[in-house]
Structure formats: C-alpha cells, structure tokens
Structure 1
Amino acid sequence: MAENKEEDVNLGANKYRETQPLGTAAQTDKDYKEPPPAPLFEPGELSSWSFYRAGIAEFMATFLSLYITILTVMGLKRSDSLCSSVGIQGVAWAFGGMIFALVYCTAGISGGHINPAVTFGLFLARKLSLTRAVFYIVMQCLGAICGAGVVKGFMVGPYEKLKGGANFVSPGYTKGDGLGAEIIGTFVLVYTVFSATDAKRSARDSHVPILAPLPIGFAVFLVHLATIPITGTGINPCQESWSCYHLQQRRGME
C-alpha cells in the first residue's frame, strides 16, 4: 500500500510541476505570423468608411489633448488662477493622463497615434501606408489648431497675455540643448509605443494590448517632467506647429 502511495506521489510530482513558466515563456505555444508590411500607397482605403472614421478619431483626440493641456499650462502661468500652484508635476500629469485616456479611447479605431511623430515612426516601420500616414498627420494638425482655437475663443485676454502657452528654450540652455532634449524625449515616446504595441508580445501576452495605453501615457508624463524645465516639452509636433504659428502672429502684430 505504501509503495503504491509513493508511486502516486511521484506521478503527481512529474505531472504537475511546481515550477511553472511565467509571462511570455508560459505562452510559447501560441502561433505568431509576422504581418506583411503595409503598402506604400493604398488607394482602396479612400473608399473605406473606417479610413475616415480613423481620421476623425485622430482629429478629436488631438483636439481634446490640446484643449486640456493648454488650459493646464495657462492655469500654471496665471498668478491669479486657482491652478497657479499646479506645478510642473501637474502639467506633466495633464499631458500623460490625457494621452493615457485618449489612447485607450481611440486605439481600436485609429491606433491612438495623437502625434505626427508616432505616425511617422510607424510609417517608417511600414505599419501603415503613406496614404493613411499623411491623412492622420493632417487631421492631427487640424485637431491641434481647433483645440487651441477653442481655448483662445473664450480666453482671449489670458491667451494673448500668456502667448497661448507657447514653449520657449529656458534661460541657461542653448538651442542645441533644447534640440537634444526634444530628440531624446520623442525617442522615448516612440520607443515606448513600439514596445507596447508589438504584435509578437500581444500574441504571447494577452494583457499587453489592454495595458498599452498605460506605459504610453506614463512615458509622456516622465518625458514632460524631464524636459519642461528645458524647453517646455514639445514631443508632439502638431503642438509645436501651433506654438510657432501663434508666435509669428504675435511678432506680426508687434
């Protein structure tokens, strides 16, 4: 009887090992097929409703992002505002939090780019066609202009006084310092986007697509913490294009 019991224990130990593989190693049996690169031109997209729906999603996401973040920056700069004590951390949280929320909302529609730098990086990796990339960038820039325009529409005085929350290279730093900080900051963001949306990881770890907005938003938060003291942070080119446009308007009026 004792021998049979010992045999059952050995059989159970071999069948149910205590040390089980964790994470990606536990799912190595999942099949993964490398998706083909996106074609350079895909005219068929122009007749698809999903193509235009994705562009509208990018427009709305960039619109909301600029609306919230510009208001936060202006609240920080206004000495008479209740939000004047928000500090750099508050501004960084506003940028990172909005990106987290907006990527979560639009990832299933357009991929949740909300940034021409992300769109351009994904285009270079052949994750989307040139047709879609150009359309996304145009819609993102239009969304940025409309978002800033709405803020200016009902806060004309503070908007003009605070230069629309435009970024500047801080005293003590050169333009080369600012350029280097922006290059590294944009690299961190795009690198995080590629890592969080990697199809191989998604095939092995089912939780990766669900958690993708979190590391992307957190990367934006950390980059803003690091580079706000240098340039104000401009890792989103459509935000910077609006800042440059506003500054040119100011100089023309002066």
Structure 2
Amino acid sequence: MGKNVEGAEHGEFSAKDYHDPPPAPLFDPDELAQWSFYRALIAEFIATLLFLYITVLTVIGYKRQTDLKNNGDECGGVGILGIAWAFGGMIFILVYCTAGISGGHINPAVTFGLFLARKVSLIRAVMYMVAQCLGAICGVGLVKGFQKAYYVRYGGGANTLADGYNKGTGLGAEIIGTFVLVYTVFSATDPKRSARDSHVPVLAPLPIGFAVFMVHLATIPITGTGINPARSFGAAVIYNKEKAWDDQWIFWVGPFIGAAIAAIYHQFVLRAAAIKALGSFRSSAHV
C-alpha cells in the first residue's frame, strides 16, 4: 500500500495487464449466422447515411449563402472552417455512438486498414464497405430530395479536383490525409496504449474527429477532401455529372494507399509485429 502511494507521488503508475488480442480470421463464415454481425452492418449503414446527410447539406448551404448571383454574402456562411467542423464533429458523434456496435468505421479506407492489420475478417470488411457505400448514397439522396434545386446548382457536394492542381497533387493529398486519419484510428484504439496509459483516459472518437477536422482544413481547397471512398462515391452517384466521375479513382486509390501505409507503419514499425513474430518463431524452434 505504502509502495503504491509512494509511486503515485513520484508520478509512476503501474500499467494494467495487457495481452495482444488474437488476429481476426481471414474468413469467418460463422459471422453470417450471428445477429450481431447484421446489427453492425445496420449501424454502419445508418451512421454513413447521417454523416453524408449533414455534411453535404453543410457544403451546399455554405455555397448558397456565399453565391453572389443569388444575393449571397461573399463573407457569409460557415466558411471552410465550418465545413471542416461539420465533417470532424459528425465523425466524433457517430464513432462515439457506433463504436460499441460496429467499431464505428464509417469509412471503407478505415475498414481496409483494419482488415490489413487483421482486426476484422475479409467477410466483415467487404460487407462493411458495401453498407457504407449504400448508406452514403441514401444520405446524399435525402439531401437531393429535400433541396433538389440547390443540390444541382451547387455541385451536389461531390469531390472534384480543384482548378490549378494536377492529378498527382490530388492523389498525394488523399494519400497523406487518409494516412493521418487511419494512423489516428490505430493509435486511439490501441489496447496496449489503453493499458499503459490507463491513468490518462482517452476518448477515442475525439482524436479521430479532430484528425478529420484538421485534414479537411488542409485539403478542402485541393480535392474538397475525400479521405472516405464512400463519401466520394455516394455524392458522385447521386450528382451523376461527368465532372464528378472524372477523377473518382483518386478518391479510391488515394485513401486505400494511405490506409495501407498507416496500417503497415503502426503494426510493423511502431508495434514491431514482424519482430515479435520472428521472436515467437525462434522460441518455438528451440522447444
């Protein structure tokens, strides 16, 4: 007792017992017979629907308020800062609400990164991506249904490469932006960190939401900020104009590359998974 008090006085804290969770199976057909699996799919669908509904409405509302041709105020509206807050804030809210049900991915790139790290099975990863894309389409569809005139006039919230930037710049922005997001997801949800820093409680949705906010501030002027293939795909499907499809590949390739780099960096560099696996192999070889 006295030792524990003395350690606390000197700023030393004992970490909780920690064990790495086993990797998720690559194929797990048993998931298809579990209600919890379908409940998670519904949660991802609804969360992505709400995410696109609020954020695309924010984008269109901002363009409407600043449209000088429609008696708008050039300095009015929420501005880029407000749009970034809308995206980051919604991610914070929705991850907080759905983390205990589906993990709160709400983004195929996040799901892809977690799959590469063996946090989810292939079946779950694929079905999550399908649910996310369908949710995004429905969310943007609601925006168009409620505000069709403004929706069409102001670009439908679709991601496009801004004038003055080449495809390489846009791809790079998506790769780095998604890396920041997925790296934050890994760090905020790392069970080892939770055990080691148990005296400093971390609300995982908060840093994840802030990561989305910061990336939007940096990349809205370049690509409108994708970093979420479902967000870009859903807006393109409903808007369905040639410009929305011209560079659609950037908003899939970029996020998936960024997510893969983040997964490799966190798992094999920071967590040294390859070295641990080699050590385990050598230990078993001497038995």
* TM-score of the pair, normalised by structure 1: 0.86
**2:271: which partner in 1?**
none
Pick closer, same or farther for the CA change 1:17–1:234 going to 2, 3 Å. closer
Separation in structure 1 between the aligned mates of residue 7 and residue 51 of structure 2, nearest angstrom: 50
Pick closer, same or farther for the CA change 1:18–1:55 going to 2, 3 Å. closer
Larger radius of gyration: 1
Question: How many Å apart are 1:241 and its aligned residue?
Answer: 1.2
Within-5 A mapping of 1:71-220: 71-78=57-64, 79=67, 80=70, 84-206=76-198, 211-220=203-212
Q: Identify the range of structure 1 (66-75 vs 78-87) with the bigger mean alpha-carbon deviation.
A: 78-87
Separation in structure 2 between the aligned mates of residue 235 and residue 61 of structure 1, nearest angstrom: 16
Question: How many Å apart are 1:210 and its aligned residue?
Answer: 5.1
Question: For each residue in 1:25-51, what CA deviation from the matched residue of structure 2 results, as whole angstroms up to 9, or x when unmatched?
Answer: x123x2111111100111111111110
- Mapped pair 1:20 → 2:7: no
Matched letter for residue 64 of structure 1? L
Is the Cα contact below 8 Å between 1:196 and 1:209 reproduced in 2?
no
**1:44: which partner in 2?**
30
Q: Of the candidates 44, 58, 68, which is equivalent to residue 44 of structure 2?
A: 58
Is the Cα contact below 8 Å between 1:163 and 1:246 reproduced in 2?
no
Is the Cα contact below 8 Å between 2:59 and 2:83 reproduced in 1?
yes
Question: How many Å apart are 1:174 and its aligned residue?
Answer: 0.9
Is the Cα contact below 8 Å between 2:140 and 2:238 reproduced in 1?
no
Question: For each residue in 1:126-168, what CA deviation from the matched residue of structure 2 results, as whole angstroms up to 9, or x when unmatched?
Answer: 0010011111111000100000000111111111111211122
Q: Identify the range of structure 1 (71-80 vs 82-91) with the bigger mean alpha-carbon deviation.
A: 82-91
- SS for the counterpart of 2:163 is coil
Please tell me the root mean square deviation across aligned C-alpha atoms, in Å: 2.3
Matched letter for residue 205 of structure 1? D
Separation in structure 2 between the aligned mates of residue 140 and residue 237 of structure 1, nearest angstrom: 9
Question: How many Å apart are 1:202 and its aligned residue?
Answer: 1.8
Question: For each residue in 1:77-130, what CA deviation from the matched residue of structure 2 results, as whole angstroms up to 9, or x when unmatched?
Answer: 112579952100000000000000000000111111000000000000000100
**1:5: which partner in 2?**
none
Pick closer, same or farther for the CA change 1:16–1:202 going to 2, 3 Å. closer
Within-5 A mapping of 1:240-251: 240-246=232-238, 249-251=240-242
Separation in structure 1 between the aligned mates of residue 201 and residue 104 of structure 2, nearest angstrom: 12
Matched letter for residue 56 of structure 1? I
Question: How many Å apart are 1:211 and its aligned residue?
Answer: 0.8
Question: How many Å apart are 1:14 and its aligned residue?
Answer: 11
**1:4: which partner in 2?**
none
Separation in structure 1 between the aligned mates of residue 118 and residue 129 of structure 2, nearest angstrom: 16
Pick closer, same or farther for the CA change 1:32–1:72 going to 2, 3 Å. same
Separation in structure 1 between the aligned mates of residue 95 and residue 210 of structure 2, nearest angstrom: 12
* Structure 1 residue runs of 4 or more that deviate by more than 4 Å after TM superposition: 12-15, 80-84, 207-210
Is the Cα contact below 8 Å between 1:75 and 1:84 reproduced in 2?
no
Unpaired segments of 5 or more residues in structure 1? 1-11
